[in-house]
Structures are given as C-alpha cells and as structure tokens.
Amino acid sequence: MKKRFVSMFLAAVMAGTMVAAVPVMAEEATEAATEAAAAATDVDLSDKKVGVCIYQFSDNFMTLFRTELENYLVELGFSKDNITIVDGVNDQATQSGQIDSFIADKVDVLIINPVNSSSAATITDKVVEAGIPLVYINREPDADEEARWEENNWNVTYVGCDARQSGTFQGELIADLGLDAIDKNGNGKVDYIMIEGDPENVDAQYRTEFSVKALEDAGLEVNELDDQVGNWDQATAQQLVANSLSQYGNDVEVVFCNNDAMALGALQSIEAAGRTVGEDIYLVGVDALSEALEDVLAGTMTGTVFNDHFSQSHSAADAAVRYLTGEGNEHYIGCDYVKVTKDNAQDVLDMVK
C-alpha cells in the first residue's frame, strides 16, 4: 500500500466519511509508486543493500510493521535479495552483533528497531563511524540522543508516532462513556488496572501516563487498583489480569492495556472471571490488530487506537531513500494515531486485513 493512498484513506476514516472506492485507490497507489521512484531517479535502488534490525519477530505489531516495510521497499525499487531483516530476539547483545555484521557487510542504509532504546548512543556511534545512514523506528531514543544527531548533523533520524497521543485517546475512549456508566461500584471514581508494555519503552511510559491524565482532564476522579508490567505480551497480561481480577473483583471497572496483544490476554481473563465488557467492565488497547478490531465490533473490547504501521514503515523507507539520494532528513519524522470505536472499526479493519 502506498503512502498517499494510506493517508487519503486515513483522512477519510478519521473524518468518518469512508467510501469504498477500490479502483481509485489502486490508481492512486500506482501513481504514488511512480512518484516515489521518480524522486530517486539519480540513484539505482536495486543494488542498494538495506539492513533492518527488529527487536523481536514474535511481536505482533512489529510483524505487521516489518512485512509492510519489506513490501514497500520492494515497491520503491529495492531488490528483495538486498533487504535483510533480522530478529534481535529481545536481546540487545544479539542485536548489537547483528549491527556489527551489517557494518562489516557494508550495507548502504540501516533501519533499526532497538531492543533497548538506552543503547541508541552506542549504536549511533558505531553506525555513524562506519558512514552508514541510520533510521530508528518504533522505540524512540531519548532527547539527549536525538539532540546529538542534530548538533553533529549526522544522517540519523527517528520515525514514529507520539505515544502521548495514543494514551490520551485511550483515556478519552473511557471518559466518553461518562462516570455513570463506568462507576459500577458507586464510589464516584474510575477504578482501573494498568497493564504496561516494556517499561524502558517510551510508548509504555507515555500511554500509561496520558491515558490516566485524559480521565483527569475530563474531570473524573481516578483510583489505580493495580499497575503491572506485561512486556507487550498476551500470555503475561492474561495472567496479570487474572490475578488483579481475583484480588479486586468487581471493583475493577476499567482495564487499560498499553497494546492490543495484552488487551487480548486481558479479555481472556475478563471472560474467564464471568465479567462482560461493555456491561460491567471496560477494556482498551492500542495498535488496532485485526483480532482486537473484531472485538471492538463485537463489543468485547471498548476501543483501541490505530498504531499506523503503514505510515511508519513507509516513512522509514522514504527516509532511507532520501539518505541514499543525498536529500537528507529532519531528525524526527512523526505520524498520527487514530482513535477506534465501534463506529470506525470496520473501516480500519478493511484497511489492515
């Protein structure tokens, strides 16, 4: 799927004016591909080597991301044989070794989803030293690290969405229900449990903070019953939510999960505890995985937030091309999340499926 196609689609989804126009979309896609290829006329991308490091292949969201990234790089003119995508198996030492191999192989550009964003400075130093342009994705290095790229005018950038926005959208999905609907135990507060992703990841930190902030900003009083680390993982979250539900019982009114994989795990435990989403408990995630969108449509999830892997992977590939053509990039390339309720879940599902 091409960038312009996706952004047009998203604009329609966000505006709630989605109309099915498949032939027009296909035409747009071809047009956008031609434009992208034209932008790179002076450089033959087909012989450029791209190294891609993913923190962990088994992550559902990063699987969507890397699949789309590879497809789009090929559409832009890279040869599939010259794109190497490796699995960091959630181990920084493994990933650092993979980066060393890519440097030894003299790849032309690197796209890196770091295992630990705190290792970014070390990664940047060796990649810059090797003269290879670098595009970080999904796990944002800290502000000091990003400032170094700017100060030294290095060919290093980050592509991602602002996780504060996704947290805010999660909070709003709950706040919009109104206190009367949420406050089953009648204590005048929103009693919630929070299941966090990897705490080193700024996405987890911001989603946690801003989902609660959005409730408070809406004038609601909040009561945190439990806050646990589920490391983005469904099975871990299932266990954690089962524990919280058995400890706090019917007092749990809302379950916030930093991503959909964990929300799917939470839902298994909510159902096993005999609770019903939409009736006596509410559940939100982030990513818009197709399974979660099916749940939103069925009412078994209150809502989710679309983490646009199309836009992020395309922007990362486009940034890589701009380094190869010598055009260069800003040191931060952002994108928007989309709030998903029953009203637009089908449109988003049609797009991600």
Token couple for 318: 């486009």
Site for ligand BGC in 30-89 (CB under 6 A): 59, 61-62
Q: Is 196 in the site for ligand BGC (CB under 6 A)?
A: no
- DSSP characters over 88-108: -TT-HHHHHHHHHHHHHTT-S
Q: Is 259 in the site for ligand BGC (CB under 6 A)?
A: yes
Q: How far is the CB of 215 from ligand BGC (least distance, A)?
A: 20
Residue 293 contacts residue 340 (beta carbons within 8 Å): yes
3-state secondary structure of 347: helix
**Residue 139 or 275: which CB sits closer to ligand BGC?**
139
- The window from 83-91, 92-100, 195-203, 271-279 that contacts ligand BGC (CB under 6 A) reads 195-203
Interface with ligand BGC (CB under 6 A), residue from 172, 203, 226, 253: 203
Helices of type H across 88-162: 92-104, 120-129, 143-152
Interface with ligand BGC (CB under 6 A), residue from 96, 98, 116, 138: 138
What does each C-alpha distance from 334 to 161, 162, 179, 316 come to in angstroms? 5, 7, 33, 10
Q: Is 308 in the site for ligand BGC (CB under 6 A)?
A: no
Q: How far is the CB of 33 from ligand BGC (least distance, A)?
A: 27
- DSSP characters over 9-54: HHHHHHHT-----HHHHHHHHHHHHHHHHHHTTTS-GGG--EEEEE
- The window from 35-43, 196-204, 319-327, 343-351 that contacts ligand BGC (CB under 6 A) reads 196-204
Interface with ligand BGC (CB under 6 A), residue from 5, 102, 158, 232: 232
Report the 10 Å Cβ neighbour count for 345: 23
Diameter over CA atoms, the chain: 67
**Residue 312 or 329: which CB sits closer to ligand BGC?**
312
Interface residues toward ligand BGC, by CB under 6 A: 59, 61-62, 138-139, 197, 201, 203, 232, 259, 261, 286-287, 307
